[in-house]
Structure 1
Amino acid sequence: MESSPQTELRAAIVAELDRVVTSPVFGGSARQIRLLRFLVGEVLAGRGAELRAPLLATRIFDRPEGFDSTEDSIVRVEMSKLRRALERCYAANRATAVRIELPRGRYAPVFATGPAAPDPAQPSVSRRPSLDSPPSDRPGPPSPRGPRFPASADGPVIAILPFASITAVSASLNADGSESERPVPGSTGTRSRAIAHGLTDRLGDLFVRAPRVRVLSRAATLEEAEARGARYVVEGSVRLIPGALRVAVKLHDTTRGIQVWSKTFDRSDVDNRLFAVEDEIARDITTLLVALPLGAVHAIEAEERCVHPPRSAYEVLLRFPRWLATFDGRLQAELADHCARFLERDPDDGVLLAYSSFLHVLSSWTAAGRDHDRCRSADHARRAVALEPKLANPHQVLAFVLLDAGDGPGAQAAAKVALKLGGPLMFTGFLLALSGDWERGTAILRKHRSLTKRYPGTVHHALALDACRRGDYAAALIEAEAITTPNLAWSALDRAVVLARLGRVADARAAGRDLAAILPEVARDPRAVVRRVTADQALVDDLVEALALAGLG
């Protein structure tokens, strides 16, 4: 039979649970209440150590067996919401006998008493007890060898561990992806270690140049990186055989104690271009992980931070991908207000200034857009470049603003600077193509589209126009229909042009009406609208002619 103090503690926890779920903070949210009751019930039943994301996904959120948290963020998002709800609940009422707390990185709640000192004879009623006290999944971190990063509402802290060189077992990479044994010359191990060191150094250089990312220096282990304040840890391995290279990379989230991303990069015929391949892979990793705002790290941060009003300029930037996916008018207005508010606080924030200019110009292609002053947008973009000359993002925005203003050579020059600096290469490819460097731009677009599942549908706009330029209207239609952003004029413009060229005049005129509903000025002066799209004058003539067939101009 349970001891009286234990029975009293359980009764107090149940009573506190009932009080919490009926508080105004939860507002009758059935999902959050169900989640909290389940978590507390499992801990009281002694099963707290068994709480994992797949269990919650199937038991609470009706997900099927085989749930993968890297593909579906429902558990992570709802746990973050629940944690914040509990914090708000106790901020409003601190005078409680027992508090239900949900530590970051854990699924099992803990139960803490008030300020009274605990009774030594009853260790289960301490200030931070859990009834079943499951052991930690990981050992405690060692003493850090360097300073710890403080918590911040600004960008994430990332550590890059030294890449490992795998030389004990060698294999050749066959065309079908299988492996076959092959002896390795004695020099291969040395070269493999050199590539591992080079990749580590190159990633550090590129990550430091990524906006809103703080890079922890000289961390040797995941535990040390965590102890020094890094939430994200990158680790990798290098395997080199004659003529082929394989680099495997993983990203760990130390807050949740899980691996959140991984990718393998295979390259062949590398013997005479190792430095170029090393740089190419480092750029790809940087783009996929920390390119603002679509990198994997920023996507995780956005899931957690965008549920509350922005507290920093970084949290404003995290909201751009959602707008780029929908071009929703309400989100557009909120973004504009947030940008203005934080730029008023810090007018010298070059990155936010650049994105504000980008928002100003791109929103003019939407029905909810405002008339924009091209000179003012260009001035802001140039000031952003002056403030952050070594970051690719301001140069990209300058290229976009100049392209919109009809300055093709200026746009291409700015895009080439951005290409040298790195940054989000997909956007750079988009700008290079539309400013006239079609081959290089579309090659970059296609490569990086194949690298990642997460990219804006607007990248298809450049590919659709490239297909139009080449006269391949069937391919252009496929690209145009992949844009899937009806609130953006590019979607209707591309469909109107392509359908007209395919002889589907009725469909082209319907698309033309959609375009005119978003941009009424296209009916008055289609050439002025089209000249904002591309610097290729021959293509401009072709697009204007096709729009005439669609009933515009």
Structure 2
Amino acid sequence: MIHDTNDAIPHQLIHDALERVISSREIVNSDRKKRFLQFIVKETLAGNADRIKAYTIAIDVFNRDSSFDPISDPVVRIEAGRLRRCLEHYYLAEGAADRLQIIIPKGSYVPQFVMREVAAPTLLRALDDDKQSTSERLPEIVPAEAEFSQAPVAATSSYQPPGTAPSRVPLLKRPRLLAGLCSLLAILTIALAGTTLFQRYQVSVSSRAVPSQVPTLMVLPFENDSSDPAQNMFAKGVTEEVIGALILFKNILVLGADTSFQFRTETALRDAVPNVPIDYVLKGSIDRTEGQIQVNAALLRAADHQYLWSGSFRKDFTSKSMLDLRRDIATQVALILVQPHGVIDKAELQNTVGRPSESLTSYECVLRTREYWRQPNAEMHKQVRTCLERAVRIDPDYADAWAALAFIYTDEARIDFNPSAERPDPTLTALEIARRAVALAPDSPLPLQALGIAHWLRREPALSIAAYEQARVLNPHDSDILADLGRAYSLTGDWEKGIPLIREAFDRNPAQPTWYRLFIALYHYVNGQYAEALAQAQKIGTPNLVYTHVVLAMIYGQTGDRDNADYEVDEILRLYPNFGDKAVFEFERRNIDPAIISRMLDGLRKAGLDMDPDREVANEKD
């Protein structure tokens, strides 16, 4: 229900909603967004909605002078668009349970206030329901404290990695607490010194919630190489958009826009704050010629200024397309540089080549996990598992390490890699530590992905999809999230949702793990498009995974290619000797729709795989 200020919503309720938003992770570190939202809400409540125009906002919020022209200076439109996105993000994630919602309609700056009669279904509510049912089943294994928390605090858990004693963690091995004490000491130092310089820098990086080994990136202000001074504003906007897109990815620490515009160069920042960590520098420029805009960007390693990547983006330029252009270019840059398997991942991974697991940092163990995910094999699984178990002992508050370990444990059940007597039910252990990871970092996508795969293998597809959807809210650009969500939708029979997501993942990231093509191949197979299915299956490229050969055998069985079908059946039995007897069980525990299973079994029988005649698909005849 949408209310104007004349409606009977108590003003205090609106003020409380405003305070929750400006204190949220979305806005708390942006004075500009806070001032904007406070101004338009308070003016509306004061009955001055007719005063909320671009001109008054520019003067009262952004300190423009009386000569401000909203046509030549789009600052208000730009900031309003960013604020709308922040509000949408907040109410999808952190504020999902809020009863009153503040909305800024497109085409207007006057806010509206929405009372939600029933809170929208969210992952938090789904997990609360799951908590009750899980506690009933396993009261001694999954304690309530291991559940999700809205606050990023460490959750207690009955699980301890091998070799970990259930004792209190020493101060020096509690990076969150130590970081907090260090921040307090820094503030006291600032007060004594009478300067705010380091404080400003600290604000830009204060949201860091990962070990110090995570690389740090500084984005230098993009230069205006055109002869038109009016493009200075566009160059600044590109810089801010690029930083905003990069920040969505949690595998790197990106210094804030205030730091970039205050210091402008890496050297200036190091001179002001000598111990600031900077691992990578992104610089760029814009040039406008003949109705087109060209944006050039380059990534350098800070230690030796070696160029690791450079790229150019040229697009048609109009005043109407300006905002979309900046957003599109920023997204492309972010995807190339910091998404999984991107330029920085590869550069960081190269530093670990040839080094034993025991010498790797916690962050480097997580990097190795992403490399394992591209080409899963039993030997690398074992190495990464050892590395991550050590990582969570060293950095028990590092959420991504717990999440990565959950992925590794699920593969003990999912593809039978290195099963351990310590974990008779590895999916349960994975679920428990995935919850711990989410409690440590509720705004990080990787723990939610781990939660998704754990629920998936526990035959809880609705909870799995909810976790993936929540991860997509946090970072809609991450190709791994898109592909995992697409897989889940596809296998449950919702091809219309699933296949476009997987294809988008490959469009966004050409380095996407090739085994996701298995699901596109399955889609074509189910629809009788065997040539298209074979073309996708031949690109999977994971010969040590049994399902690569399962899909190929099904296709060859349907097309009557006896020689290739015989070869693929032999490979299936080499990797999984009694797969024929277990096929229905294996398909069902992966939540594959019964109609899809029936089509898969038909192809395998035609390929010559001996199947268990007594094992029927659940609901096959429905």
TM-score of the two chains, using structure 1 as the length reference: 0.62
1:435 aligned counterpart, secondary structure: helix
> What's 1:385 paired with?
438
**Within 5 A, what are the aligned runs for 1:306-321?**
306-309=353-356, 310-321=359-370
Does the 8 Å CA contact 2:480/2:505 hold for their aligned counterparts? Answer: no
Does the 8 Å CA contact 1:434/1:462 hold for their aligned counterparts? Answer: yes
2:243 aligned counterpart, secondary structure: helix
Shift of 1:356: 1.0
- Comparing 371-380 and 315-324, the one that deviates more: 371-380
User: Which residue of 329, 339, 358 corresponds with 2:378?
Assistant: 329
User: Which residue of 279, 302, 321 corresponds with 1:254?
Assistant: 302
Shift of 1:242: 9.0
User: Which residue of 434, 453, 459 corresponds with 1:406?
Assistant: 459
> What's 2:471 paired with?
418
> What's 2:268 paired with?
224
For the pair 1:155 / 2:214, whether they are aligned, the reply is yes
Cα distance in structure 1, aligned partners of 2:584 and 2:591: 11
For the pair 1:351 / 2:395, whether they are aligned, the reply is no
Shift of 1:232: 0.8
> What's 1:178 paired with?
none
Q: Deviations over 1:32-69 (max 9, x none)?
A: xxxxxxxxxxxxxxxxxxxxxxxxxxxxxxxxxxxxxx
Shift of 1:160: 0.6
**Residues 269 and 531 of structure 1: CA distance in aligned 2, closer, same or farther (over 3 Å):** farther
Does the 8 Å CA contact 1:232/1:253 hold for their aligned counterparts? Answer: yes
Does the 8 Å CA contact 2:413/2:427 hold for their aligned counterparts? Answer: no
Cα distance in structure 1, aligned partners of 2:286 and 2:299: 15
For the pair 1:338 / 2:382, whether they are aligned, the reply is no
2:419 aligned counterpart, secondary structure: coil
1:323 aligned counterpart, secondary structure: helix
> What's 2:127 paired with?
none
Shift of 1:275: 4.0
Cα distance in structure 2, aligned partners of 1:244 and 1:412: 41
Over aligned residue pairs, what C-alpha RMSD do you find?
Answer: 3.4
User: Which residue of 578, 581, 598 corresponds with 1:524?
Assistant: 581
Shift of 1:290: 1.9
Q: Deviations over 1:270-311 (max 9, x none)?
A: 76565455444333322321234x221121121113432334
> What's 2:557 paired with?
500
> What's 2:242 paired with?
203
Letter in 2 for 1:250: A
Cα distance in structure 2, aligned partners of 1:278 and 1:476: 37
Cα distance in structure 2, aligned partners of 1:390 and 1:526: 38
Cα distance in structure 1, aligned partners of 2:220 and 2:233: 15
2:351 aligned counterpart, secondary structure: helix
Cα distance in structure 2, aligned partners of 1:501 and 1:546: 6
Letter in 1 for 2:432: D
Does the 8 Å CA contact 2:349/2:364 hold for their aligned counterparts? Answer: yes
Q: Deviations over 1:497-537 (max 9, x none)?
A: 22222222442343233224334463223123223556544
Shift of 1:414: 2.1
Shift of 1:446: 3.6
Does the 8 Å CA contact 1:429/1:443 hold for their aligned counterparts? Answer: no
Q: Deviations over 1:16-45 (max 9, x none)?
A: xxxxxxxxxxxxxxxxxxxxxxxxxxxxxx
Does the 8 Å CA contact 1:353/1:381 hold for their aligned counterparts? Answer: yes
Letter in 1 for 2:585: A
For the pair 1:300 / 2:347, whether they are aligned, the reply is yes
Letter in 2 for 1:430: A
1:389 aligned counterpart, secondary structure: coil
Structure 1 residue runs of 5 or longer lacking an equivalent are 1-142, 170-188
Does the 8 Å CA contact 1:351/1:393 hold for their aligned counterparts? Answer: yes
Cα distance in structure 1, aligned partners of 2:465 and 2:325: 25
Cα distance in structure 2, aligned partners of 1:478 and 1:404: 28
Shift of 1:251: 0.6
Does the 8 Å CA contact 2:485/2:501 hold for their aligned counterparts? Answer: no
**Residues 450 and 531 of structure 1: CA distance in aligned 2, closer, same or farther (over 3 Å):** same
Cα distance in structure 1, aligned partners of 2:243 and 2:550: 42
Cα distance in structure 1, aligned partners of 2:225 and 2:462: 47
Q: Deviations over 1:45-98 (max 9, x none)?
A: xxxxxxxxxxxxxxxxxxxxxxxxxxxxxxxxxxxxxxxxxxxxxxxxxxxxxx
**Within 5 A, what are the aligned runs for 1:103-502?**
154-168=213-227, 190=230, 192-216=231-255, 217-218=259-260, 219-224=263-268, 228-239=276-287, 246-267=294-315, 272=320, 274-292=322-340, 294-309=341-356, 310-366=359-415, 368-370=417-419, 373-422=426-475, 425-436=478-489, 438-439=495-496, 441-450=498-507, 452-502=509-559
Cα distance in structure 2, aligned partners of 1:264 and 1:467: 36
Shift of 1:253: 1.4
User: Which residue of 581, 586, 595 corresponds with 1:538?
Assistant: 595
Identity %: 21
**Residues 202 and 472 of structure 1: CA distance in aligned 2, closer, same or farther (over 3 Å):** same
Cα distance in structure 2, aligned partners of 1:206 and 1:200: 10
Letter in 2 for 1:348: D
1:251 aligned counterpart, secondary structure: strand
